[in-house]
Amino acid sequence: MFQTSKLLALTKKKKFGTFYVSSFFIVSFLLIFFNKTDYIIASKIKSVSIDVISPLSRVASMPITYTFKVIRNIDNLRFLHNQNLKLKEEIIRLKKWQTLAIKTNRENKAYKKLLKSTNNETKIIKTAYILSQSPGIYSKDIIINAGINHGVTNDLTVINERGLVGKVLLSSNNNSKVLLITDQNSAVPVKSLTEDFYAIVKGSSKGNYLQSSFIKNEKRPKVGEILYTSGNTDLFPTDILVGRVIKVYEDSFLAIPFVDFEDIEFVQIVN
């Protein structure tokens, strides 16, 4: 009886051990399976989230991204606007310097020509700038920025780099009025280069030409003859270019002045 119960106990113990081992393997398998399944499910969820959430986040962030782009473009436009203002100011400044340089260069060229136009016997009183010129309806004259304070007095001769301009008619302290040789009231004693012809010329009604008012010995000049100041009557210094004969009549002639009175800026007052 004892042995039988012992055998039964042993049999039960073996059955329990077998059941325990089997249960352990089953539980282990289930744990491994569920762990693997959880990983797959988690991966699937992550994949779905990437496919769904990423486009949504991109759409949601579009206003912010667009706003940042707009702000950046506005900043760039402000920067470009400021740069354009600076460039405009620089261009204006450079244009002023360019204008000043051109004016200075023109003045230097005029001064050089004026220096070459005068000889050692001519005393230069003042180099002046033309302030204004009459329209030429009733008289032909100019106003220069030199007067009594600069040693300029009435009846002084005015020339430029091309030749005779006129005579000082009236002087104030700082300015003077010059009667041009193209005025009908002017009178310039002239001679030819060979000094075999003498005459007096004055301005024409239109002011474009010089016409003879007196010819010595009624000797007519030749077309193309160059006329100089003769120095007679001490009205003007001698040997200053006046004009060139362009047309000869029976008892008179026309000459064109060397000075271009439409383009005159600087003059010299000489004694």
Report the alpha-carbon angle 90-93-98, nearest 5: 120
What is the per-residue pLDDT for 239?
Answer: 87
Q: At 204, phi and psi to the nearest 5?
A: -95, 175
Domain boundary residue, one of 117, 148, 166 = 117
Indicate if 85 and 179 belong to the same structural domain. no
Total domain count, the chain: 2
Predicted structure pTM score: 0.58
Indicate if 89 and 157 belong to the same structural domain. no
C-alpha 20 chain-centroid distance: 104
Indicate if 70 and 159 belong to the same structural domain. no
Say which CATH number the domain at 143 has: 2.40.10.340
What is the per-residue pLDDT for 2?
Answer: 45
What is the per-residue pLDDT for 106?
Answer: 57
Indicate if 131 and 59 belong to the same structural domain. no
Residue-by-residue DSSP string for 163-179: EEEEEEEEE-SS-EEEE
124: CB partners within 8 A, 6+ apart: 118, 268, 269, 270
Give the separation between CA 228 and CA 4, rounded to whole angstroms.
170
Reported as type and span, the H/E element at residue 157 is: strand 157-160
The single-letter DSSP state of residue 182 is T
Indicate if 153 and 261 belong to the same structural domain. yes
Which residues of the chain are modeled with pLDDT < 50? 2, 6-7, 10, 120
Domain boundary residue, one of 85, 117, 149 = 117
Indicate if 62 and 136 belong to the same structural domain. no
Domain boundary residue, one of 117, 145, 180 = 117
CA distances to 25, 28, 47, 244 from 14, in Å: 17, 21, 49, 151
Indicate if 159 and 252 belong to the same structural domain. yes
Indicate if 110 and 132 belong to the same structural domain. no
